[in-house]
Amino acid sequence: MRINNNIMAMNANRQLGINDQGTGRSLEKLSSGFRINRAGDDAAGLAISEKMRGQIRGLQQGSRNAQDGVSLIQTAEGALNETHAILQRMRELSVQASNDTNVTKDRESIKSEIEQLSDEIDRIAEQTEFNTQTLLDGDLESGDGLEFQVGANSGQIISLNINDMQAEALGVNTVAASNITANQSVAIQLINDAIISVSEERSNLGAVQNRLEHTIRNADNSRENLQAAESRIRDVDMAAEMTEFSKNNILKQASQSMLAQANQAPQGVLQLLM
C-alpha cells in the first residue's frame, strides 16, 4: 500500500469535478431556458440561431411597416371618399344648372356653390397628412412615391404613388372658373372625368392595401415558422435536461461519498505499523 499518492482519491476527485461541472451546466440551462448560453455550448448552433433571430426581428418590423402602410392608405382613401362625394354634388349641381327652368340668378348661385366645393377639394388635397406628410397634393406622384420596407432584407419593398388630387389636376377648377350658364354640358363632362380619375386612384390604393395585408399575413407566418426553428436550436428541452441534471446530481453525490472512502484507505497503513 502506498500513502504518498492516493490514486483512488485522485480518480474520485476528478470524477467529482466532472459531475459538478455537468450539474452546473444543467442548472444554467434549466434556469435560463436556453440550451445554448455561450458559443462553447454549440458554436454552429449559435451562429445559425443568431441569423434566424435577425430574420425574425426583421420580419416582425417589416410586418409593422406594412401595417403603417395600410394606415397611410386608409387615410388617403378616406379623404378621397369625401372628394368623391364632393364631385357627385358638383355633378348634381351641373345637371341642375343645365335645366332651362333656372334663371341666370339661380345659375349664379349654383356656380357659387361649385366654387366653394372646388376649394374644398383643394383643402382636402393640401391638408390630408400621415405623420406630417401630405398625401394628395402631388408630392407622391411617379418618381417621388413611397417605399414600404415589408421584408427582413434589402430590396423587399412595396412602392406606392399617389397622383395629384387637387381641383386643377382633376380638371374641375375650370368648372368653377367658367360661366356655368353657358357651359353646362362641358362642366358635366369635366366632372365625369374627375370622378373617373378619383375612382382609379382609389382602386390603386385598394390594390396596394390588399397587397400589404397579404404581405403582413405572409410575414407573420414566416416569422412563426422561423421562431419555431430557432427555438428547436436554442431552447432547452426541460424534461431531457432535468433528467441530465438528476443524473449528474446523483453521480456528484456518489463521487463525494467515494472520495471520502478513498481518503480513508491510507488509514489502513496504521494497522501495519502497530
Q: What is the pLDDT along the chain (274 residues), one digit of tens a residue?
A: 555 666 777 777 787 777 777 777 877 788 888 888 888 888 999 899 999 999 999 999 999 999 999 999 999 999 999 999 999 999 999 888 888 888 888 888 888 899 999 999 999 999 999 999 999 999 888 777 899 999 999 999 999 999 999 999 999 988 766 656 566 778 888 999 999 999 999 999 999 999 999 999 999 999 999 999 998 988 887 888 788 778 877 877 877 777 777 777 666 665 655 5
Burial letters for 23-42: b for 16+ Cβ neighbours within 10 Å, e otherwise? bebbeebeeeebbbbeeeeb
Domain ranges of the chain: 43-233
End-to-end CA distance of the chain: 15
Q: Which of 88, 79, 90, 140 is nearest to 115 (CA)?
A: 90
User: What CA–CA distance (Å, rounded) separates 241 from 145?
Assistant: 54
For residue 189, CA distances in Å to 2, 103, 178, 193 come to 115, 22, 14, 6
What are the backbone dihedrals phi and psi of residue 151, each rounded to the nearest 5 degrees, phi first? Answer: -120, 175
Contact 170, 197 (CB under 8 A): yes
Architecture of domain 43-233: Up-down Bundle (1.20)
Contact 252, 20 (CB under 8 A): yes
